[in-house]
Structure 1
């Protein structure tokens, strides 16, 4: 199965810390203050579920969270987390196969789109967009290549990661999709942006506009942080 991390689930968090230290965690923590409670939240590809405990520390109740994860082993680990008084529904499915009539206030996609080919990223983005209410918040974290800086080590590390995860988890992608362009093309407004690990990891909060004809403002990031 494509993009399935079952084989590495038990060691995934340990491996990420070995390579990135706490940058993976901090990049996602930076977006949590933008959540408001009560809210209906969709988390796609949350992995082992540590993010549920981080959310519960800030919001111990009031959230209805749908947790969609393709890896059954990751989902088993996530179920054991302490999410306090929040209501969490665990859904074993790929996001492509997930069907719901629910409209969400917030979606979180931590390190999701780096798994996808450009074509699949386009399809998944459109599907998630249709699940969001107008003015909903999209909390996005993923790897990032800063072309203006031409940091060769970023490209080398990304290539090494793709080679490794292609063999272990059948990851289909071999390059990052242009996600900022997807958000811009669909009327989302960047409200916050921050970088970690030498700008190799990007976190951003986007607000969905109800007006599809609107042109997103070319605003500067609210906060820009460099965590080396």
Structure 2
């Protein structure tokens, strides 16, 4: 049976957040929080691969008026995000639509001011990643921004502990979620080929995790 990294995280949905917290502390959350101020007020936002809904809750807590499309390929993750959304008691002016699937479910007429890929792009082999990023680029308005948070070591040569952690992650998620990739992508090359420039960034977890804002050149 072929592997499907898009939906494999359904099996880890019950414990993914706790596992990430155990290994990385609050670094992954801090990376995503760094990106929130770059989301314009009264904008259309695509969150793809958002997982169990922690980021969705943070978007709503910004107090901004947002039209959010929340896409995830894992039914278990999407259901958790829905339940988390239902549990939000604070009044807000966000409109949220949930959609099960991948970037393939995006319609040609759907355009977004902001695209957020929280720890998503590291899952894919180069060809599949290129297809994904091309689709998301087409869905982003010309003046829109791409908010990126992911594992992206910046220290060269890469410290041994980061290499070991990368190997451990891919080995584990290949076993439990059928992730095909075995190494981190060359994100910079992909963004450059698609005509994006980095406009802001912040490092976390001793340089192993990056939060970056990209816009078209």
TM-score for both structures, normalised by structure 1: 0.87
| Residues 155 and 207, structure 2, Cα contact 8 Å, conserved in 1 | no
Query: Hey, what does 1:222 align to over in structure 2?
Result: none
Deviates more, 1:44-53 or 1:182-191: 182-191
| Equivalent residues of 1:69, 1:92 under 8 A apart | yes
Q: RMSD across aligned C-alpha pairs, in angstroms?
A: 1.3
Q: In the aligned structure 1, how far is the partner of 2:167 from the partner of 2:41? A: 39
2:47 maps to 1:43: yes
2:29 corresponds to which residue? 25
**Superposition misfits of 4+ residues, deviation over 3 angstroms:** none
- Residue 140 of structure 2 corresponds to 132
Aligned equivalent of 1:195, options 181, 191, 203: 203
Which residue matches 2:105?
98
- Counterpart pick for 1:2 among 1, 4, 18: 4
How many residue pairs get aligned? The number is: 207
The alignment partner of 1:156 has SS state of: helix
CA distance in structure 1 between the aligned counterparts of 2:105 and 2:161, rounded to whole angstroms = 36
**Once structures 1 and 2 are overlaid, which stretch shifts more, 4-13 or 42-51?**
4-13
Q: Which runs of 5+ in 1 are unaligned?
A: 210-228
Q: Is the 8 A contact 1:145 1:155 kept in 2?
A: no
- Whose relative contact order is higher, 1 or 2, with alpha carbons under 8 Å and at least 6 apart? 2
Aligned with 2:15: secondary structure? helix
Q: 1:147, CA displacement in angstroms? A: 5.3
Alignment of 1:11 with 2:19, yes or no, is: no
Q: Which has the higher helix share?
A: 2
Question: How high is the TM-score relative to the length of structure 2?
Answer: 0.91
Query: Is 1:116 aligned with 2:124?
Result: yes
Tell me the distance in 1 between the aligned counterparts of 2:70 and 2:31: 19
